[in-house]
Amino acid sequence: MIDLVESALLKKILTKSRNIAIVGLSPKENRPSYQVAVYLQEAGYTIIPVNPGHESILGESCYPDLQTIPAKVDVVNIFRRSDHVVPIVQDAVKIGAAVIWMQLGIVNTHAAEIAEQAGMTVVMNRCIKIDHTLFFGIEPDQSI
């Protein structure tokens, strides 16, 4: 259960953010990253796929890393193993992202410290889709 302060912060992030870079987005429909990305698109967010092995995913240009994204990034949503998170966070700091969001099962306290020292908000071990559904009560596509 999340407390009221944490709840207010998560709702604020989800309300104010528009551009979400999804690091480790898979083009495979059965993968959680793909399902979350589809949900976020349907909820009105601009998703920015980050996966060096692809040119586009879900109709969006795909970038090899955060630093090559030409647009402003509000949230960096991470679908990578915990031991791969530090360089991603370092890149997120360089591009001036406001939020690091590590998906369920992803915990890296060192990376969180780097982000917090740079003034970023850190959400760790939480699913952005689940939280969005909790706050806004919608699930655009029930098949996800």
For the stretch 88-105, pLDDT in tens is 999 999 999 999 999 999
Has residue 142 got a pLDDT over 60?
A: no
What's the CA gap between 58 and 62, in Å, rounded?
9
What's the CA gap between 53 and 27, in Å, rounded?
10
For the stretch 44-86, pLDDT in tens is 999 999 999 999 999 999 999 999 999 999 999 999 999 999 9
pLDDT the model gives residue 2: 52
Share of the chain above pLDDT 90, in %: 88
Q: Are the beta carbons of 23 and 50 closer than 8 angstroms?
A: yes
What is the CATH number that goes with domain 4-136? 3.40.50.720
Q: Which of 122, 121, 78 is nearest to 103 (CA)?
A: 78
Tell whether the torsion through CA atoms of 57, 60, 63 and 67 is positive or negative.
negative
pLDDT the model gives residue 101: 98
Domain boundaries, the chain: 4-136
